[in-house]
């Protein structure tokens, strides 16, 4: 496993396991399998309605809490100081943990500054090891900076070969905020990109492995989701090869600013 160091010194595993749209026993089984294969970083969110199953899988795995990196997210309806404190407690209860490794504001919304104040306090109280946001463009971050005492350490955003977000990436690097990629496989659509098929043949690795490795070599934390045991394993086996620089640039140049999910500027749940 490779790790990236966050601005406060906390180490985040470069590869995590995504759990969006995986519920009930499917979620329990997928997280159990991921932990068995070796993943130690799990990404969930209150709105995924699977925190309880993630928590149960973690507990039943017997893996020591300090060996795990658990992320969850504060949903849009839970904004404001008190609501955020309550949401944090509910997520911890669901997950059966007494601290989180990473807590994110899920989307930019009104009252984020009040929520951020609550998150800063939880961080200073030692209840969260690292704090961050998700789906924040540069202007959302700049607005948060006007009142934040502590800058976010992570921004989890959509990122894949068709959406490389180079301007945001440069800004995050300048501010020492770690980029984390959601829907890294474009929910499966990367499999249809001809250049990736060529590179898959060249490196004798699956297209998924090429894309996940490309994320990590670009300094981006990546959290692919799968409920299929063979794919869970395949996605974990990306630490024993390196993509050449010239091929990294070829993948970068696939960008077409295509989103599989919502643009945070036109999104209001
Ligand atoms: N912060 C946010 O707003 C936000 C938004 C979206 C997602 N996320 C996070 O990011 C995670 C990943 O994103 P995602 O779930 O949208 O999509 P993704 O990881 O890009 O793609 C998942 C899809 O790819 C398939 N797949 C996985 N590994 C594969 C492989 N090796 N070969 C072929 N197909 C493969 C999966 O199929 P099977 O499952 O059938 O195997 C599933 O259909 C989420 O689960 C969630 O934790 C966050």
Which fold does the domain 3-257 belong to in CATH?
A: TIM Barrel (3.20.20)
List, by residue number, the catalytic residues.
48
Please report where in the chains the tokens 């396991």 appear, as a residue: 17
- Nearest-atom index, ligand 1, CA of 190: 20
Nearest CA to ligand 1 atom 37: 226
Nearest CA to ligand 1 atom 19: 224
Pocket-testing residue among 19, 34, 42, 185, ligand 1, by greatest number of atoms within 8 A of Cβ:
185
User: What are the pLDDT tens digits along the chain (269 aa)?
Assistant: 999 999 999 999 999 999 999 999 999 999 999 999 999 999 999 999 999 999 999 999 999 999 999 999 999 999 999 999 999 999 999 999 999 999 999 999 988 999 999 999 999 999 999 999 999 999 999 999 999 999 999 999 999 999 999 999 999 999 999 999 999 999 999 999 999 999 999 999 999 999 999 999 999 999 999 999 999 999 999 999 999 999 999 999 999 999 999 999 987 66
Model pTM? 0.98
10 Å CB burial of residue 231 (0-12, 13-18, 19+) is middle
- The pair phi, psi for residue 192, each rounded to 5°, is -95, 10
- Nearest-atom index, ligand 1, CA of 185: 20
Spatial separation of the C-alpha atoms in residues 213 and 238, rounded to whole Å:
6
Helices 194-203 & 245-252, crossing angle to 10 degrees? 160
Cα–ligand 1 centroid distance for 118 (angstroms): 30
Beta bridge partners of 132: 104, 154
Instruction: Dihedral sign for Cα 232, 259, 171, 118, please.
Output: negative
pLDDT computed for residue 269 by the predictor: 64
10 Å CB burial of residue 91 (0-12, 13-18, 19+) is buried
Spatial separation of the C-alpha atoms in residues 253 and 248, rounded to whole Å:
9
10 Å CB burial of residue 121 (0-12, 13-18, 19+) is middle
Q: State the DSSP H helix or E strand holding residue 69, giving kind and residue range, or none if neither.
A: strand 69-74
């Amino acid at each position: 496993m490779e790790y990236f160091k966050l601005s406060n010194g906390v180490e985040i595993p470069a590869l995590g396991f995504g759990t969006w749209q995986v519920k009930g026993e499917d979620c329990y089984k997928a997280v159990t399998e991921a932990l068995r294969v070796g993943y130690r970083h799990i990404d969930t969110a209150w709105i995924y309605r699977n925190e309880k199953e993630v928590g149960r899988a973690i507990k039943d795995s017997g893996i020591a809490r300090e060996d795990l990196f658990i992320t969850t997210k504060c949903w849009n309806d839970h904004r404001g100081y008190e609501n955020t404190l309550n949401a944090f407690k509910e997520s911890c209860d669901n997950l059966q943990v007494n601290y989180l490794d990473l807590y994110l504001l899920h989307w930019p919304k009104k009252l984020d500054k009040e929520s951020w104040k609550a998150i800063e306090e939880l961080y200073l109280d030692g209840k969260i090891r690292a704090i961050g946001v998700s789906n924040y463009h540069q202007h959302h971050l700049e607005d948060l900076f006007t009142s934040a005492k502590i800058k976010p350490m992570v921004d989890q955003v959509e990122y894949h070969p068709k959406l490389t977000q180079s301007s945001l990436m440069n800004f995050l690097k300048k501010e020492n905020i770690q980029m984390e990629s959601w829907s890294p496989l474009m929910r499966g659509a990367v499999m249809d990109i001809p250049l990736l098929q060529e590179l898959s043949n060249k490196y004798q690795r699956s297209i998924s492995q090429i894309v996940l490795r490309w994320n990590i070599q670009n300094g981006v934390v990546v959290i692919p989701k799968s409920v299929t045991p063979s794919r869970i394993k395949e996605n974990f086996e990306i630490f024993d090869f390196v993509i050449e620089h010239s091929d990294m640039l070829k993948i970068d140049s696939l960008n077409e600013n295509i989103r599989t999910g919502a643009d945070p500027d036109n999104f209001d749940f």
